[in-house]
Structure 1
Amino acid sequence: MLQIIEISGDNIIATRASGDLSEMDIEKVHPIIHAILDKGLNVRWYFEMENFTGWDFPGLWEDLKMDTAHAKDYEKIAMVGEKKWQDWIAQFMKPFTNAEINYFSLEDRKTAKQWIKK
């Protein structure tokens, strides 16, 4: 499940992922991305993972399509998670985007939120 959470900023998407992400979860973010791009801004994404287990295959495919279609539109991505493998996800994403990507532990949420706003 992907939940949209609140963080202030004209170009920030903030989400919390738990369980498996589906294609429908990923599609929730498309209108937000396009609203930011329509303002002429690059996207900053705060992506928090708590009890996150991954993607189902259609969800993974949709996520990869979105990442490659918008590779140049991302400015920063804060990956916030609880497991070491989630740091691996942050590293895996780097070839798919021009964004600066940083991994933070759940204990460092506050730092991640400050970083995504700078």
Structure 2
Amino acid sequence: MITHKHGLSIGLQRVDKEFYLYLKAIGKLTHEDYQIITPMLDKALKEIKEPKIKALFDCSELEGWEIKAAWDDLKLGLKHGNEFDKIAIITNKSWLEIGAKISSWFISGEIKTFKAEKEALSWLNK
């Protein structure tokens, strides 16, 4: 039996004195994944007054989205886009680099892609 691991995990990560919202996407994301993660993210961000969040998004194992999940991702970006200061995306896929440029139209903070976590964290700390 073949299993396909997929999903989106979310947490806080501390590097030196800085805290980051840490997200890791694995496999092909589904609408059901967003039904679970969206309320958790909404609740966490609701508690922060005047958020200016720095996020580290590891997409190194992301394979893509189902159509409905891509729509969910866009809605989530539109809802919370003004709450981010910087988003560093770790990826080696050119289609995600293009997606990051498109996402920057909907998010007030800076978005940049990186091949390695060390480079991403260095940029987030600037």
> What root-mean-square deviation, in Å, do the aligned CA atoms of Structure 1 and Structure 2 show?
2.1
Q: Which residue of 2 aligns with 1:89?
A: 99
Identity %, equivalent residues: 25
d(CA) in 2 for partners of 1:87, 1:73: 21
Task: Check whether the contact 2:38–2:76 (CA below 8 A) recurs between aligned residues.
Answer: no
Partners of 1:14 and 1:115 in 2: how far apart? 15
CA contact (8 A) 1:13 1:32 kept: no
Q: Name structure 2 gaps, 5 residues minimum.
A: 1-6
CA distance in 2, matches of 1:84, 1:117: 24
Structure 1: segments with no counterpart, 5+ residues: none
Determine which of 62, 76, 84 is the counterpart of 1:52: 62
- 1:39-118, aligned counterparts within 5 Å? 39-40=48-49, 41-105=51-115, 108-118=116-126
C-alpha change, 1:24 and 1:46, in structure 2 (3 Å) is: farther
Q: Which has the higher helix share?
A: 1
Aligned length: 115
Write the distance in 1 (CA, Å) between the matches of 2:40 and 2:125. Answer: 20
- Larger relative CO (CA 8 A, sep 6+): 1 or 2? 1
* CA distance in 2 between partners of 1:17 and 1:7 (Å): 15
Q: 1:97 to 1:37 in 2, by over 3 A?
A: same
When the two structures are superposed, what TM-score results if normalisation uses the length of structure 1? 0.81
